Amino acid sequence: MLKALIKLAGIAALLGVAVFWFLTAPNPLPANMLTGIENGDVQNGELVFFAGGCASCHAKLGAKGDEKLLLGGRHPLNTPFGTFYAPNITPHLENGIGSWTGAQFANAMMRGIAPDGSHYYPAFPYTSYARMEIEDIADLWAYMKTLKPVDLSNLEHELPLPFRLRRGLGLWKTLFLHNDPIVEIDENDPQLARGRYLVEGPAHCGACHTPRNLIGGMDKSKWLAGGPAPEGKGSIPNITPHKTGLGPWTLSDIAYSLESGFTPEYDSFGSSMVSVQENMAKLPASDREAIAAYLKVVAAVPTVKP
């Protein structure tokens, strides 16, 4: 009887492992989405690059001018889960992404899957990039290949157990990796549609401006309401139309602040928002206006206190 019970327990354990392995498996993009991935437009790719703020994490701290295009990584992201280090995303063959294919780049961006099939940590905001158009991913890929290779190796993340075990991120992705729009808008309004696309997609504004739950997922009921900084120090402002957020700001106030870095209160942006604003200033005025229009129609939510 005891042998039978041990055998059954062993079978159950094996089944449990098999189910876990199945549920946590990477889910790559379908092949038919990737047919034009190697034929992107470099000029539009540059705009996508600035919309996504890639240099903010992948260039060295305090980089200015052309240094912001040297994307050797190593920027530390200190979070409650440990310290993550941004990787080298230049075309360097050994240390960067120079040996990647366009399909691998797209799967990294939109599904959080590394070329070796492992899961990327969501410190890389692929939960937002999942909402991007594949054409923009192709254009960004074309632009990334024009950048200067940087011979700088990647740093290992400093994470305690169990966070060093990436396989479990497959379950996390089933909860938080979706490409559905977050905010309902008038779908017939092209400006709002563009604003939603930029904010929810490449600009990944929610990654900082939305509070997170205990397992690191964004609390979308408090979308863009600010709260504790994801890196664990300080707070991030509310950018909803609530009176504790951008409620007093006009559409032109928002658009102008993204262009100039100055607020209606005659203050200026600080901290990581400086880099974000510098990137936004390189976008067409119509994109900044679209972002402003979107931020005025999201739900007005009181500021989440740290």
Q: How confident is the prediction along the chain (306 residues), in pLDDT tens digits per residue?
A: 666 656 555 565 555 556 555 567 789 999 999 999 999 999 999 999 999 999 999 998 888 888 999 999 999 988 888 999 999 999 999 999 999 999 999 999 999 999 999 999 999 999 999 999 999 999 999 999 999 999 999 999 999 888 888 888 999 999 999 999 999 999 999 999 999 999 999 999 999 999 999 899 999 999 999 987 765 567 899 999 999 999 999 999 999 999 999 998 888 887 778 889 999 999 999 999 999 999 999 999 999 987
C-alpha 236/C-alpha 272 separation (Å) is 10
- The mean pLDDT of the chain is 91
Domain boundaries along the sequence of the chain: 29-180, 186-306
Q: What does DSSP assign to residue 61?
A: T
What angle do the packed helices 285-295 and 273-280 form, to 10 degrees?
Answer: 130
Q: 74: closest CA among 96, 105, 45?
A: 96
Residue 173, both tokens? 């992705």
Contact 71, 54 (CB under 8 A): yes
Of 302, 172, 207, 204, the residue nearest 245 (C-alpha): 302
Tokens, residue 194: 């563009």
Q: Are strands 82-85 and 76-79 parallel, antiparallel or unpaired?
A: antiparallel
Nearest to 129 by CA among 47, 223, 205, 225: 205
Please state which CATH class domain 186-306 belongs to: mainly alpha
Q: Is the pTM of this model over 0.85?
A: yes
Give the pair of three-digit tokens for residue 138: 């192709």
Q: Is the omega angle on the peptide bond into residue 162 within 30 degrees of 0, that is, cis? A: yes
Nearest Cα residue to 206 out of 109, 288, 130, 105: 130
Closest CA to 276 of 53, 14, 61: 53
Which residue shows structure tokens 């060093």? 164
* First vs last C-alpha separation in the chain: 56
Give the whole-angstrom CA distance, residue 281 versus residue 283: 6
Classify residue 97 by its DSSP letter: S
Give CA angle at 180 (174, 183), nearest 5°.
125
Query: What angle do helix axes 102-111 and 134-144 make, rounded to 10 degrees?
Result: 120
CA 305 to CA 146: how far, in whole Å?
A: 42
Return all residues near 264 (Cβ < 8 A) that are at least 6 apart. Answer: 248, 249, 250, 253, 257
Where do the DSSP E strands lie in 148-260? Answer: 227-228, 235-236
